[in-house]
């Protein structure tokens, strides 16, 4: 019950009362909701533990779904789709907001789960982006949706397919928002034979049919379809179906080019300019990896630990004699035996440190790792961290594209 206890303690009692009242659990022992919050939570935890197994598991599963949208990506997903945004924005606490949507806009809560599924996998290995015609309207009429659904049934040889089509937005650079239409797809997979326990607690085999999820988004302003699905073939086919049946256009399979990074700016000491409004205290390069262009099978990595007296560039000069004066795209190490090797930086890791917030304490830090030509850990960060990271990677000349598309990270 640890997770339930943690969830209850982070959620206002009034919202918990709304939940248990709305769901009308028959096996819930009486709870005195009029008592002070501290005197309600602990008895409530025990009361849930005393419920019958089916209802107790229902509470656990619901709490898990609500808690999953109580982090920053989940809250962003809820903001993308919630209808009563005015009420949502006035609620205090992530659990409170998430449970409020679960109770009051349950259909939008499920759409938020679909938004999170898509955005968490965006730019990952199950993602592709394609350029199509700009300015199209996504068809939502029954005939078009039926054609799209039929194509998926035939492609995956399954009778059971569910499709959601809804409008949403995504925050991009400088707090701007782009308008999207998302298509969420659920399809039933082939039957699988799995072990499980029957009603008599006997181990038995059971046939289950897993459900697979996929997602597509279309941005009319840029003419970009982004798709998340298991395989590249699935992604191409789903995009083709969307273009034909929901946009009314032919699909030419024009891939968005990979996002490119250039670490040439780090070939000499760099000041990392920032905006005061972002509260950045400083930026420190912690690691550089060098490749000898004459022998690309070997690498040299320099790492600057906390408390180091030298900068990473001073360390490069001291340890391997690199000449940092030119900054011409490669480094030379004169004085080494034989012909001087020509070095290229292939990976860098640097830390952005922020000033403490109004509540004091230690300031947060953000660690970026960039690997030439297409690698960056931005995809593993929260939306706010990605916005800051993308902003400054562009500002410093490391991220070479100038838009919010075409940024697949591998």
What is the mean predicted confidence (pLDDT) over 6-21? 92
Indicate if the pLDDT at residue 62 is higher than 80: yes
What is the mean predicted confidence (pLDDT) over 129-155? 96
Place of tokens 């789709």: 81
- DSSP class of 158: -
Give Cβ neighbours of residue 395 (< 8 Å, ≥ 6 apart).
273, 274
Q: What is the pLDDT of residue 392?
A: 93
Task: Give the model's confidence band at 330: pLDDT under 50 very low, under 70 low, under 90 confident, else very high.
Answer: very low
pLDDT in tens, 162-198: 999 999 988 765 556 789 999 999 999 988 888 888 7
pLDDT in tens, 354-372: 998 877 778 889 999 999 8
Measure the CA–CA gap between 27 and 54, rounded to whole angstroms: 10
* Total residues found in the chain within this entry: 410
**Strand ranges across the sheet with 224-228:** 161-171, 177-188, 211-219, 224-228, 127-131, 254-255
Greatest Cα-to-Cα distance within the chain, rounded to the nearest angstrom: 85
Give Cβ neighbours of residue 162 (< 8 Å, ≥ 6 apart).
185, 186, 187
Measure the CA–CA gap between 190 and 158, rounded to whole angstroms: 8
Q: What is the pLDDT of residue 409?
A: 35
In Å, what is the CA distance from 328 to each residue of 32, 266, 285, 309?
73, 10, 19, 26
Q: What is the pLDDT of residue 153?
A: 97
Task: Give the model's confidence band at 324: pLDDT under 50 very low, under 70 low, under 90 confident, else very high.
Answer: low
Structure tokens at 257: 């080019």
pLDDT in tens, 248-265: 999 998 988 777 889 988
User: Strand 295-303 vs strand 177-188: parallel, antiparallel, or unpaired?
Assistant: unpaired
What is the mean predicted confidence (pLDDT) over 145-157? 97
**Dihedral pair phi/psi, residue 15, rounded to 5°:** -75, -35
pLDDT in tens, 292-312: 777 777 788 999 888 888 888
What percent of the chain clears pLDDT 70, i.e. is strictly above it?
91
Measure the CA–CA gap between 269 and 288, rounded to whole angstroms: 12
Indicate if the pLDDT at residue 287 is higher than 60: yes
Q: What is the pLDDT of residue 306?
A: 84
Helix (H) or strand (E) holding 193: strand 192-197
What is the mean predicted confidence (pLDDT) over 24-28? 90
Indicate if the pLDDT at residue 391 is higher than 50: yes
Q: Is 308 helix (H, G, I), strand (E, B) or coil?
A: coil
Phi-psi group of 258: left, alpha or beta (phi > 0 → left; psi -120 to 50 → alpha; rest → beta): beta
**DSSP states of 82-102 as a string?**
-S-HHHHHH--SHHHHHHHHH
Measure the CA–CA gap between 113 and 383, rounded to whole angstroms: 15
pLDDT in tens, 188-243: 998 888 888 877 888 888 888 899 999 999 999 999 999 999 999 999 999 999 99
**DSSP states of 193-248 as a string?**
EEEEE-TTS-EEEEEE--EEEEEEEEETTTTEEEEE-SSHHHHHHHHHHIIIIII-
Contact yes or no for 224/130 (Cβ under 8 A): yes
Using CB atoms within 10 Å of the CB of residue 242, give its burial: 0 to 12 exposed, 13 to 18 middle, 19+ buried. buried
C-alpha closest to that of 267 among 282, 285, 249, 243: 285
Structure tokens at 137: 């309207």
Measure the CA–CA gap between 310 and 377, rounded to whole angstroms: 26
C-alpha closest to that of 348 among 325, 379, 376: 376
C-alpha closest to that of 239 among 156, 129, 161, 143: 129
Measure the CA–CA gap between 331 and 268, rounded to whole angstroms: 9
Measure the CA–CA gap between 155 and 400, rounded to whole angstroms: 38
> How many helices (H) and strands (E) in the chain?
12, 14
For the chain, the C-alpha Rg in angstroms (whole number) is 26
pTM: 0.72
Q: Could you tell me which residues are beta bridge partners of residue 204?
A: 196
What is the mean predicted confidence (pLDDT) over 105-115? 95
Mean of pLDDT over the chain: 86
Phi-psi group of 135: left, alpha or beta (phi > 0 → left; psi -120 to 50 → alpha; rest → beta): left
Helix (H) or strand (E) holding 301: strand 295-303
């Amino acid at each position: 019950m640890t997770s339930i206890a943690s969830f209850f303690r982070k959620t206002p009692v009034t919202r918990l009362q709304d939940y248990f009242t709305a769901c009308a659990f028959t096996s819930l022992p009486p709870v005195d909701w009029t008592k002070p919050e501290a005197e309600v939570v602990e008895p409530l935890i025990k009361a849930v533990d005393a419920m019958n197994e089916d209802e107790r598991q229902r509470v656990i599963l619901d709490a898990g779904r609500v808690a999953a949208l109580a982090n920053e990506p989940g809250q962003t997903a809820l903001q993308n789709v919630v209808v009563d945004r005015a009420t949502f924005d006035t609620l205090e606490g992530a659990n409170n907001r998430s449970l409020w949507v679960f109770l009051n806009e349950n259909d939008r809560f499920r759409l938020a789960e679909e938004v999170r599924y898509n955005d968490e996998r965006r730019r990952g290995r199950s993602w592709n982006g394609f350029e199509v015609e700009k300015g199209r309207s996504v068809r939502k009429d029954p005939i078009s949706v039926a054609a799209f659904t039929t194509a998926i049934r035939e492609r995956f040889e399954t009778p059971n397919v569910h499709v959601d089509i809804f409008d949403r937005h995504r925050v991009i650079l400088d707090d701007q928002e782009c308008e999207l239409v998302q298509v969420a797809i659920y399809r039933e997979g082939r039957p699988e034979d799995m072990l499980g326990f029957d009603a008599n607690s006997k181990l038995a085999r059971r046939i289950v049919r897993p459900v697979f999820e996929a997602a597509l988004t279309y941005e009319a302003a840029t003419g970009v379809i982004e798709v998340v699905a298991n395989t590249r073939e699935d992604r191409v086919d789903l995009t083709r179906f969307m273009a034909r049946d929901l946009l009314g256009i032919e699909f030419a399979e024009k891939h968005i080019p990979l996002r490119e990074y250039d670490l040439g700016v780090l070939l000499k000491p760099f000041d990392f300019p920032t905006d005061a409004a972002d509260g950045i205290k400083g930026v420190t390069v912690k690691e550089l990896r060098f490749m000898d262009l004459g022998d690309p099978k070997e690498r040299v990595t320099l790492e600057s630990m906390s408390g180091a007296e030298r900068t990473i560039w001073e360390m490069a000069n001291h340890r391997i004699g690199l000449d940092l004066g030119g900054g011409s795209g490669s480094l030379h190490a004169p004085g080494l035996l034989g012909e001087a090797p020509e070095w290229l930086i292939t990976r860098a890791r640097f830390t952005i440190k922020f000033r403490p917030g109004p509540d004091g304490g230690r300031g947060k830090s953000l660690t970026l790792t960039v690997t030439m030509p297409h690698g960056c850990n931005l995809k593993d960060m929260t939306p706010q961290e990605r916005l800051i990271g993308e902003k400054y990677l562009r500002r410093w000349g490391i991220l070479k594209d100038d838009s919010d598309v075409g940024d697949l990270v591998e």
